[in-house]
Amino acid sequence: MARYVFITGGVVSSLGKGLASAALGALLQARGFSVRLRKLDPYLNVDPGTMSPFEHGEVFVTDDGAETDLDLGHYERFTGVACRKTDSVSSGRIYSNVLEKERRGEYLGKTIQVIPHVTNEIKDWIAVGDDEVDFMLCEIGGTVGDIEGLPFFEAIRQFAQERPRGQCIFMHLTLLPYLAASGELKTKPTQHSVKELRSIGLQPDVLVCRSEHPIPDKERAKIALFCNVRPDSVIPAYDLKSIYEAPLAYHRVGLDQAVLDAFGISPAPKPDMARWEDVMDRLTHAEGEVRVAIVGKYVQLEDAYKSIAEALTHGGMANRVKVKAEWIDAEIFEHEDPGPHLERFNAILVPGGFGERGTEGKIRAAQYAREKGIPYLGICLGMQMAVIEAARNLAGVTNAGSEEFDHEAGGKRFTPVVYHLKEWVQGNHRVERKVTDDKGGTMRLGAYSAVLREGSKVAEVYGATDIEERHRHRYEVDIKYREKLETCGLEFTGMSPDGRLPEIVEVKDHPWFIGVQFHPELKSKPFAPHPLFAGFVKAAKEQSRLV
């Protein structure tokens, strides 16, 4: 049976709860324990798949095809443990399960209520996979006091009560605001937040206090006294230059020790921090810098491409260079020449995206990279645009386009070099989809294998010919253009195992031009940079003549 750490937040949102959870996971691993991290989100969407990246940031996809919150990306990047469908749940999912059960008559004529029916459903989620790990870390989204959050707080209270004593602890994150006028850190909001928690039956064992200023011992003792927490379980969390400092920084201030103490695990196994020391060494001792242009649509909110930004950093770490990524709105290239905007970059990345807006600009960016010999990495839509570019400008399919744009606008404006996939094979079964299916959950989602061509650039980059990567898309490059495109120098060097779906294209006689139908960024870790990102940054480094 796993031990549980429930992580909640108070005072304000965006305190870095996900990061603190992920760092705690890494620290428990460093002490030899196995962990799994889980996110319980109070919003009413069934999953974040249909939420705008502008509003909610990136949708993180798991191997088993769940569309989840970007915090799961942090969990994976810090622990290397692949998240599953069951590691992310929202109120929407919980209520929809309860209502389905009610319709099926599973509650035997009972009146359905938040307690116990909704809370039982939440507890069942929390307990999934309980016997597989030493520690289960469950983060509750939002802040204490949110209306939607209440059933979750009640469920974790019950859960801890039903488990043997000492099996569950509560960790709460708060903020200590600094009043410049009086030069003081204020503890009152933290006191109130803990009071709110205690009023619903939850006593925090560990309190993590975000602060821009050092927390004097006196204030720490005061927080401990008023919040009923031991002084050495009041953990300061200061701002960091890089998120990857978090494991070492939290270790220095005693977070892992406080957690183990709360469980009464003594003596605590010694930590081995070598992995994180190496990560920090690579990050802080970069020699030189490369500039990468990310030509995309959701440029206003960096979180919309969170995993790409992180994977580029990892690629930099693999090559000991700093990667300076700049986000460029693809739409600019629809009326302006890309040259003046892109010439100062050492590499160009076109990320995934949905809808027609900005696509002509992405096509021009791909053309610029191909013609000028600039390293190019096209991800998902970025691969499709590279194929359309080659079809139009090399293979003579002058009005090549994607069915996605015709579906949006109605009518037939393009020759569909990229078409809507209606059925495919996943493992041993067939999946069928219609254009008119619901927007949520109609994509080719999750891990699929690909077979790489021996001797290709991409096989060299991976050092392998059988790979598995995560997908999230509806449209596919049409295999019927393969021969035509290959003759013009755009090679299909990665295919689905049945040979029907193009997974990777690359431009022959180009320093580094690769398009992939999947999302490699989702699997990159600071301690294991993804080969495509390591290779791409290496090519950028060569382009910048740093070597």
Using the rule CB under 6 A, give the single segment among 172-180, 190-198, 244-252, 471-479 that binds ligand GLN: 471-479
Question: Which residue's beta carbon is nearest to the bound ligand GLN?
Answer: 352
**Shortest distance, CB of residue 80 to ligand GLN, whole angstroms?**
24
Residues 313-352 touching ligand GLN, rule: CB under 6 A, are 352
In the complex, minimum distance from the CB of residue 92 to ligand GLN, in angstroms, rounded to a whole number:
22
Task: Name the minimum Å distance from CB 420 to ligand GLN.
Answer: 8
Catalytic residue status for 168: no
Q: How far is the CB of 401 from ligand GLN (least distance, A)?
A: 12
Residue 380 CB, nearest approach to ligand GLN (Å): 3
Token pair listed for 521: 């960024």
Q: Is 287 a catalytic residue?
A: no
CB 166 within 8 A of CB 32: no
471 is catalytic: no
Within 472-501, the residues that bind ligand GLN by CB under 6 A are: 472-475
Instruction: Pinpoint the alpha helices (H) of 231-380.
Output: 246-252, 255-263, 274-284, 306-319, 338-342, 359-372
Which C-beta is closer to ligand GLN: that of 354 or that of 533?
354
C-alpha closest to that of 341 among 351, 333, 350: 333
How far is 418 from 229, CA to CA, in rounded Å?
59
Q: Any contact of residue 404 with ligand GLN (CB under 6 A)?
A: yes
Burial degree of 216 (CB within 10 A; 0-12, 13-18, 19+): exposed
Q: Which of 58, 380, 403, 471 is catalytic?
A: 380
Among 73, 353, 529, 535, binds ligand GLN (CB under 6 A): 353
Quick one: 294 or 381, whose CB is closer to ligand GLN?
Answer: 381
Sign of the alpha-carbon torsion through 306, 312, 316, 322: negative
Q: Is residue 447 a contact point for ligand GLN (CB under 6 A)? A: no
Q: Is 354 in the site for ligand GLN (CB under 6 A)?
A: yes
Distance CA 146, CA 522 (A): 30
Residue 285: other Cβ atoms inside 10 A: 9
Residues 72-111 that bind ligand GLN (CB under 6 A): none
Q: Nearest approach, Cβ of 379 to ligand GLN (angstroms)?
A: 7
Phi, psi of 9 (to 5 degrees): -135, 155
Task: Give the footprint of ligand GLN on residues 358-397 (CB under 6 A).
Answer: 380-381
- Burial string for 31-70 (b: 16+ CB within 10 Å, else e) reads bebebbbbbbbbbeebbbbebebeebbbbbbbbebbbbbb
Active-site residue set: 380, 519, 521
Q: Which residues form the interface with ligand GLN (CB under 6 A)?
A: 352-354, 380-381, 404, 472-475
